[in-house]
Amino acid sequence: MLMKTPAQSLTEQLAVRFADRIRSRLLPPGARLPSVRQCAEQHGVSPSTVVAAYDQLLAQGLVDARKNRGFFVRELATPRAAEGPRSSVAGRAAAAGASPINATALIRGMFHKVSNKPQPGMGVFPPDWLEATFMPAAVRKVTGTRALHDFSLQYGEPLGDSGLRRVLSQKLATLNIHAEADHIITTVGATHALDIVSRTLLRAGDPVMVEEPGWAVEFARLAALGMRILPVPRRADGPDLEVMAKYCELHQPKLYVSVSVFHNPTGYCLSPGSAHRLLQLANRHNFHIVEDDTYSHLAPAHATRLSALDGLRRTIYVSGFAKILAPNWRIGYLAAPPGLVEPLLDTKLLSTLTTPALLERALALCIEQGQLRRHAERIRTRLDAARARSVKLALAAGCTFAAEPVGLFGWVDTGVDTDAMAQRMLDEGYLIAPGALFHAARVPSTLMRINFATTQDAAFWRVFARVRAGG
């Protein structure tokens, strides 16, 4: 609730609050602001205060007033063509009365802090979970004067540091994925690896199969590239193969994007039987599978991975270290069939030339000396305890789980429209990830994804329960 101060009126405070959200894209173009009556009730102010605040936003060019419809966030003055699919989705949600938080808003929330409270919608561990002394020690060890001269004054190896690729080859072997070092390409994070694959194998307008619910950023990224997204329902044991078979017959897609282990947002893991049938379908209809194993450090080594069963013939394996080690190091990688290595490398060279060899060499040292493995074990132990607390609090708050709580994320059924709840929770300092985010075509949902590491605090669930009840 807003409080009047000598320095700033209630009108100014309300206008600044909405202006900040609009500029940081937490309220994207096309989103409808709450009605004057709703906003007054939510913020504990008079309707005239809301009208005055909305007038300030109009004067700043941040919103449009539409007769008998309300106030809407303005489109950018020079919208990029790639933003069309996202803007149209936001527009449809706005027309339905929602104020959607989209994929890029969730990303921006990582940089534009909503508050100092733990954020339930974030996709990463809190910084204090990742603090470790071995990382700076590894960087110091590989950045002597000679190393700085050798690595910094010339481009690195196109495929990535050979030492890291050798270590990654050995690491993959522990997952029964056999990839030579020369078949591994390092990237600027796992998202960059996914982008390299799609830019190499697809062209604008091509159909691509993607799991639904699925990673919001992947839907947005493919839409921005102009791809035609074919959503595949994700079940507990794997994708809906009947739907995939129909897509193959009608559209001949070239690619399927999958998170086999600790699927985001459900936490599902692929079963061996479903994996075998999926690979048979890929062989029969001649499409590639990109397997995003971003959560590999949290999952058991024996979990079913398509790349292990397939031997990297139709599969392309993608992973990274942002989740478990250092988000800002931006080190990811892909392992590919021999025949795709050169085309994928060409795409990498066109986008980033090379990747930072110093950090790659430091990472190789952390893996070789077993420090990353021990660090991951500590994180898993801590996450298990956090998950138990978070699940108990969620159930006590009246929620249910739409999937078994495992891994980093919980797929929670709240019983109310989480798109509508999202902006109310922002007022309380919490950025949530509403269920509609995880669908290709945004539709109202009662689900939300929570991060177990950031929802073990009873304070969040008390606020959540109050907002859900309309208080």
Decide if pLDDT at 30 tops 50. Answer: yes
More confidently predicted of 328 and 203? 203
If you average pLDDT over every residue of the chain, what do you get?
89
User: What pLDDT was estimated at residue 8?
Assistant: 86
Whether 471 has a pLDDT exceeding 70, the answer reads: no
Domains of the chain: 1-94 (1.10.10.10), 134-369 (3.40.640.10)
Measured distance CA(295)–CA(91) in Å, rounded: 33
What confidence tier does 95 reach under pLDDT thresholds 50, 70, 90? very low
Q: What is the pLDDT of residue 3?
A: 76
Which pLDDT band holds residue 38 (cuts at 50, 70, 90)? confident
Query: What local confidence, expressed as pLDDT, does residue 1 receive?
Result: 63
Q: What is the pTM of this model?
A: 0.85
Instruction: Assign 111 a pLDDT band (cuts: 50, 70, 90).
Output: low
Measured distance CA(183)–CA(169) in Å, rounded: 9
Structure tokens at 141: 């060890």
| Confidence category of residue 403, pLDDT binned at 50, 70, 90 | very high
- Where is pLDDT greater, at 301 or 171? 171
**Long-range residue pairs from 56-62, CB within 8 A, at least 24 positions apart, any chain:** 56/11, 56/12, 56/15, 57/15, 57/18, 57/19, 57/22, 57/33, 60/19, 62/18, 62/19, 62/22, 62/23
Using 50, 70 and 90 to split pLDDT, how confident is the model at 110? Answer: low
Residue 429 pLDDT? 87
Per-residue pLDDT, 92: 39
The predicted pLDDT at position 419 comes to: 87
Collapsed DSSP state (helix, strand, coil) of residue 187: strand
Percent of the chain as helix, strand, coil, to the nearest 5: 50, 15, 40
Cα–Cα dist 130/47, whole Å: 46
pLDDT for 297 equals: 94
> What was the pLDDT predicted at 48?
93
pLDDT > 70? residue 121: yes
What three-state secondary structure class fits 439?
Answer: coil
Calculate the alpha carbon distances from 26 to 51, 114, 261 in Å. 21, 9, 30
Looking at the chain, the whole-number percentage of residues with pLDDT higher than 70 is 90
Measured CA angle at 85 (ends 402, 99), to 5 deg: 60
Question: Is the pLDDT score of 104 beyond 80?
Answer: no
Q: Is the pLDDT of residue 82 over 60?
A: no
pLDDT on residue 91 = 41
**Crossing angle of helices 10-23/47-59, nearest 10°?**
50
pLDDT of 227 reads 96
Residue 242's pLDDT is what? 97
Distances (CA, A) of 63 to 18, 69, 86, 246: 10, 13, 18, 43
pLDDT over 90 (residue 67)? no
Give tens-digit pLDDT for 269-322. Answer: 999 999 999 999 999 999 999 999 999 999 988 999 999 999 999 999 999 999
